[in-house]
Structure 1
Amino acid sequence: MFDHIARRNGRGDNPSRLLEAWMPNPPLELLDSLAYGPRPRQRLDLYLPHDPRARRRLVVFLYGGGWDAGARRTYRFIAHMMVACGFAVAVPDYRLFPEARFPDFLEDTASALGWLYRNALDFGVDSSRMTLIGHSAGAYNAVVAALDPAYLERAGVPPSALRGVVGLAGPYAFNPLDYEETREIFATARHDPTRVQPVRLVRRHVPPMLLAHGMRDQRVLPINSLKLAEALRETGNEATAKLYPRHGHVGILLAMANPFRRVFRVLSDTVAFLDRVLGRPG
């Protein structure tokens, strides 16, 4: 349903126009363009609930766009919805191709988390209770940051601070060096392709993961989430793959911010996971 609407409105990768009428307007404070690094795209927006209890739980949303497109302001509908559900929300930009190549966007992801870890308390946010939500390429970034300890270590984030990851339609099992549209972006890893495949980075003692995927997704096939969840469980980690029969690649993201959560359960399943790994407000 949502993918069909998105296609009628253009490319389907700018969903904010579709959700303006649905977007809740909870009481919040927006701190925009906070610099987590010196480069122009190393900026984040921080959405703070007025409820001080909700500020203790931080969700960092990482958008997709194939590592060559995307802007944080486009995804304010996600931030508003998650604030309405009781979370503080950060939405960072990160460097994109052709300015950036692997692993620049992953280092930016970790740098944003490092800045939040060091500074969030100034805004009443508990940086020791942080989770990641990512869609598509953003889900890839979130999962790799959780799986490869080098990124968070260099950013000064202790592993215990990252309590969980929600991946929406992420490309976890593909080899980007095999595809023309991503080969140049990941060319720096051509001598060690294991570095760019999340399913091959799985290790023990990583945060719990909820891997959500639409069964109608033809851009990133659901097998990506199924394979990663299986590899995580085989190494003793907690991982759940949830498949949603009505959604495609864009639709699973749009379903996160619609008023029919009892029918389209992506949002309610995500919030239930976050409540469990972060604890409820209070």
Structure 2
Amino acid sequence: MSAQPSLASLARLPSQDPAFYAREYNNRANVPDNATHMAHWAELSRQVRKRAGWLEDLSYAGAEPGPHAADERLDYFPAEPGATDGPPPLLVFVHGGYWRALDKRDHSLVANALPRCGVSVAVINYSLCPAVTVETIVLQAVRSVAWLYRESGRLGHDKARIFVGGHSVGGHMAAMMLTTLWPRVGRDLPADLVKGVVSVSGLHDLEPLRRADFLQVDLKLSARDVDRLSPAFLPPATDAPLVTAVGGLEPGEYHRQTDLLRAAWLANAQAPGAAHVPMPDRHHFNVMHDFADGDSPLLLAVRRMMGVA
């Protein structure tokens, strides 16, 4: 059996050539029929939004909204009645798009199967680069999770069972929620507010994105941003479980990003409910289809993490 790569080797960038990172991270170029897959997301999402009982465009901006409050909205899909005993757990989902594209409405498909399994789902929106910085977007995600904790009584989910998941840079932000020192955000917030994280095709080391010109033109990441906003190089606040997945057809950098976080957060990767889900036939776009399938290995792992298997 070959030895697992060390944390130091995983943290070492494979190349100094900016063209390497342009190739590795340009997902639309790597999957030429990406529009077909995103159209499938949109159709599944439309079907979910045809159901009754969900809440659209709830503001999480708080009592003192800031300059980007119009973007700070979420859609809330409650667990189906009778699907669980007592208040259901909540999955907060953060979409991808390199912080500069897409919308929560493209990702309602995450609520296709989970409410039937006894899980409520919140899909958040946030502002987009280059109008705001990546740090601003991370802080918006923090506000959304804090708001959902505080509004649990009104919305009906269990505030003691809040989990965060995301795809691509959404996986980055989900991981960042586990590095957040919640009592510093609000004295009413517990240190273990987030009970687990799922990062699908997540980006956990931002330095390669800073080196990819097609991204950096909008993201404008600094070396300081990389240090402060790369979850693989930050300590998790708790040992809550980590579920990861990455498509077998994705570029090597996406596999390194996932392996890096798992090696850095070893206790979280080995906690009860943690898992790494192989997805051998998936690329960066069709990995999302598994979020809509209640029997997919991905969603089964998420449900086990949340205690609703």
Same fold (TM over 0.5): yes
Give 2:131's aligned residue.
Answer: 99
- Distance in 2, matches of 1:116 and 1:161, equals 11
TM value normalised by structure 2:
0.76
Q: Does 1:31 find its partner at 2:55?
A: yes
Give 1:201's aligned residue.
Answer: 234
Conserved in 1, the CA contact under 8 Å of 2:201 and 2:247?
A: yes
Q: 1:17 aligns with which of 42, 66, 69?
A: 42
Aligned counterparts, 1:6-155, within 5 A = 8=33, 10=35, 12-19=37-44, 29-37=53-61, 38=65, 39-51=69-81, 53=84, 55-149=87-181, 153-154=184-185
Q: 1:122 to 1:204 in 2, by over 3 A?
A: closer
Q: Which amino acid aligns with 1:212?
A: A
> Cα deviation per residue 1:221-268 (whole Å; 9 max; x = unaligned)?
212111111111168963533332111111211122147x3xx52222
Conserved in 2, the CA contact under 8 Å of 1:164 and 1:208?
A: yes
Secondary structure of the structure 1 residue equivalent to 2:71: coil
Q: 2:287 aligns with which of 252, 259, 268?
A: 252
Sequence identity, in percent? 21
Deviation at 1:270, TM superposition (A): 2.0
Q: Structure 1: which 5+ runs fail to align?
A: none
Give 1:222's aligned residue.
Answer: 255
> Cα deviation per residue 1:13-54 (whole Å; 9 max; x = unaligned)?
454235369x67997521111111131110111111342636
Q: Does 1:167 find its partner at 2:199?
A: yes
Q: 1:274 to 1:203 in 2, by over 3 A?
A: closer
Q: Which amino acid aligns with 1:69?
A: A
- Distance in 2, matches of 1:70 and 1:219, equals 24
Secondary structure of the structure 1 residue equivalent to 2:91: strand
TM value normalised by structure 1:
0.83
Deviation at 1:136, TM superposition (A): 0.5
Give 2:216's aligned residue.
Answer: 183
Q: Which amino acid aligns with 1:190?
A: A
- Distance in 1, matches of 2:120 and 2:50, equals 12
Q: Which amino acid aligns with 1:136?
A: S
Deviation at 1:129, TM superposition (A): 1.0
Q: 1:232 to 1:9 in 2, by over 3 A?
A: closer
Matched length: 268
Secondary structure of the structure 2 residue equivalent to 1:194: helix
Q: Which amino acid aligns with 1:179?
A: A
- Distance in 2, matches of 1:123 and 1:148, equals 23
> Cα deviation per residue 1:73-129 (whole Å; 9 max; x = unaligned)?
111111132112211111110111122112111100010011111112112221121
Secondary structure of the structure 1 residue equivalent to 2:53: strand
Secondary structure of the structure 1 residue equivalent to 2:197: strand
- Distance in 2, matches of 1:42 and 1:73, equals 14
- Distance in 2, matches of 1:204 and 1:236, equals 14
Alignment RMSD, CA only? 3.0
